[in-house]
Amino acid sequence: MNYKNTPYFKVGLATDLSGRDRAIYRMLEIMPGFLSWFTLLLIVFLSIFAPIAAAYFIIAFDVYWLLKTIYLSIHLRHNWKRLKHNMQTDWQKLVSNLKHEHIVHLIILPFYNEGAEVVESCLEALVETTYDKKKFAVVLAGEERMGTSATALSKEMKAKYGDRFGHFLTTMHPKDKKGELAGKGSNSAYAIEEARRLILDKNNIPYEHVIVSVLDVDTVVYPQYFLCVTWHFLTTPDPFKVSFQPVPFYNNNIWQAPALSRVVAGSSTFWQMMQQERPEKLATFSSHSVAFKSLYEIGYWQKNVVSEDSRIFWNLFLSRNGDYSVLPISYPVSMDANLAPTFWGTVVQVYKQLRRWTYGVENLPYILFGFIKNPKIPFWTKFKTTFVQIEGFWSLATNPIMIFLLGWLPVILGGKKFNTTILSYNLPIFTRDLLIISMMGLILSAAISLSFLPPPPKDFKRTWLTKIFMVLQWVFIPVTITIFGAIPGLDAQTRLMTGRYMGFWVTPKFRKENNSNI
């Protein structure tokens, strides 16, 4: 089957379709937002007209939240141990026992308005990796719409690093191409096709020998990352049916970021760690690696979606009739925490970044529509995947609001009759106590976050109070998972539901130590 020419395979929005297909896809776009809003409004309705039922529902949900917190904390601890083990493993020794000299790493680095310091830190990390750099084909992928600044930066980096790798290619993604959404996906797709023509084909490099790593340009790889990926690629029974997912650490500028940004960044890392222990729930995220052969067969990344990093997984999943998965490698890469010149600027950027991430809900209608169109995917695979995806997006947008804000609603809205009951008196107490017990997991979060902190910059004044505050900052979790988790998630779902589709928002990079917005 030629997936490149299958109409539904690269659909981005309902408006890309027509007739009955368009109507079905539009209903699927509406569904996640409808479910989330229906849940929240139903609790408000019950709190007014059936406060006893609402109270019992909230108590049951509080218990569910506590059990879920324990369950996820266990997974977090397991992955913490696995990460520490993998970071201490001598991957070079393991790879040396395998035939690996034929493997080529094609590294795609899309950039937009990032400055020289950000790009250079990424390239320097590649130079410092424990790997034969002659096996690296690095593609620095700029955007034409950035004008002469992108061209100048590309020339500067090529002059400085062009001879440090086996191949070094700079590309400039054309602006305003019909059918494309300006963003990382369209840029990466253009860059990798240029690399295929000018590097792989020109040098007769077999496609099945190439591993593609598409990295956000602020990514700093750890020294043995490519050795770790190579080992997993060579020891996996079928490496063309898996993507390789590292754990993102937002450590590059962690000592300069405010507590709010650190907690949000740490929470994102912890979520990825927990997902690595539940690979059936895992999709590719941000920087990851995948076989070139697999990418080429489906025509690379979609050019018309915001969440290209996870959409590429679902493209591959559908193309393989559900026989495709993410292989968690439990090894880190480091990126920037969100930081702006001012605190409120950082708050706005954090919200916009989380809204863009949670706009991954655009994948849900794509997945379900693909299930309708592809009868070859086993029913049980469709059922499990559908449940996991719907529950995940529903939980994201509703659970924090329900646990932290709605526990008081029956007391406030239930009227005098309800407020004279013992249940009315005990509901806030019960909710508070279960919440306090659930928050005990923050001790584990604080310990893990401290264990992965990089050394502070030389000019950073670190005192014993700094370390204490690095622990105490986790009390902000109830605020961050609601304001920077549930609310942007609900925002994203509402935009999809109402047809106010989002574009790709590039997170500005700012390095406080030199006080310049890069």
Tens-digit pLDDT profile for residues 350-371: 999 999 999 999 999 999 999 9
- Coil, strand, or helix at residue 170? strand
Using 50, 70 and 90 to split pLDDT, how confident is the model at 517? Answer: very low
Residue 338 to residue 352: CA distance in whole angstroms: 10
The closest of 90, 107, 386 to 221, measured between CA atoms, is: 107
- Give the pLDDT score at 3: 58
Helix axes 422-438, 379-404, angle to 10 degrees: 110
Residues 6+ apart with CB under 8 A from 429: none
- Quick one: DSSP state of residue 408? G
Residue 168 to residue 162: CA distance in whole angstroms: 5
- Give the pLDDT score at 473: 80
Q: Which of 194-198, 247-251, 444-448 has the lowest mean pLDDT?
A: 444-448
Using 50, 70 and 90 to split pLDDT, how confident is the model at 456? Answer: confident
Tokens of 369: 């529509």
- Give the pLDDT score at 462: 62
- Give the pLDDT score at 447: 81
Helix (H) or strand (E) holding 374: none
- Coil, strand, or helix at residue 76? helix
Residue 252 to residue 250: CA distance in whole angstroms: 6
pLDDT tens track for 59-111? 888 888 888 888 888 999 999 999 999 999 999 999 999 999 999 999 999 99
The closest of 348, 258, 241 to 297, measured between CA atoms, is: 241
Residue 149 to residue 204: CA distance in whole angstroms: 33
Helix (H) or strand (E) holding 434: helix 422-438
- Give the pLDDT score at 440: 73
Average pLDDT over residues 139-164: 94
Average pLDDT over residues 406-430: 76
Q: Report whether 109 contacts 122 (CB < 8 A).
A: yes
Q: Report whether 66 contacts 172 (CB < 8 A).
A: no
Residue 110 to residue 144: CA distance in whole angstroms: 12
- Give the pLDDT score at 61: 86
Average pLDDT over residues 387-403: 92
- Quick one: DSSP state of residue 334? E
Q: Which of 78-92, 120-134, 422-436 has the lowest mean pLDDT?
A: 422-436
With a cut of 90, say whether residue 125 has pLDDT above it. yes
Average pLDDT over residues 184-204: 96
With a cut of 50, say whether residue 23 has pLDDT above it. yes
Q: Report whether 438 contacts 66 (CB < 8 A).
A: yes
- Give the pLDDT score at 206: 97
First vs last Cα of the chain: how many Å apart? 45
Using 50, 70 and 90 to split pLDDT, how confident is the model at 463? Answer: low
List, edge to edge, every strand of the sheet that includes 242-249.
Answer: 167-173, 136-143, 104-110, 210-214, 288-291, 242-249, 325-334, 220-221
Residue 31 to residue 33: CA distance in whole angstroms: 6
Using 50, 70 and 90 to split pLDDT, how confident is the model at 333? Answer: very high
- Give the pLDDT score at 298: 94
Q: Which of 151-165, 196-210, 259-273, 433-447 has the lowest mean pLDDT?
A: 433-447
With a cut of 50, say whether residue 269 has pLDDT above it. yes
Query: What's CA 258's distance to the chain center, in Å?
Result: 21
CB-based burial label for 329 (10 Å; 0-12, 13-18, 19+): buried
- Give the pLDDT score at 441: 72
CB-based burial label for 126 (10 Å; 0-12, 13-18, 19+): buried
Higher pLDDT, 10 or 471: 10
**Which amino acid does the sequence have at 179?**
G
Using 50, 70 and 90 to split pLDDT, how confident is the model at 457? Answer: confident
pLDDT tens track for 300-315? 999 999 999 999 999 9
With a cut of 70, say whether residue 467 has pLDDT above it. no
Query: What's CA 230's distance to the chain center, in Å?
Result: 22
**Which amino acid does the sequence have at 291?**
A
Using 50, 70 and 90 to split pLDDT, how confident is the model at 445? Answer: confident
Helix (H) or strand (E) holding 110: strand 104-110
Phi, psi of 517 (to 5 degrees): -85, 100
Residue position matching structure tokens 């406030």:
412
Average pLDDT over residues 333-338: 94
Average pLDDT of the chain is 90
The closest of 486, 422, 413, 402 to 57, measured between CA atoms, is: 402
Tokens of 360: 């991954």
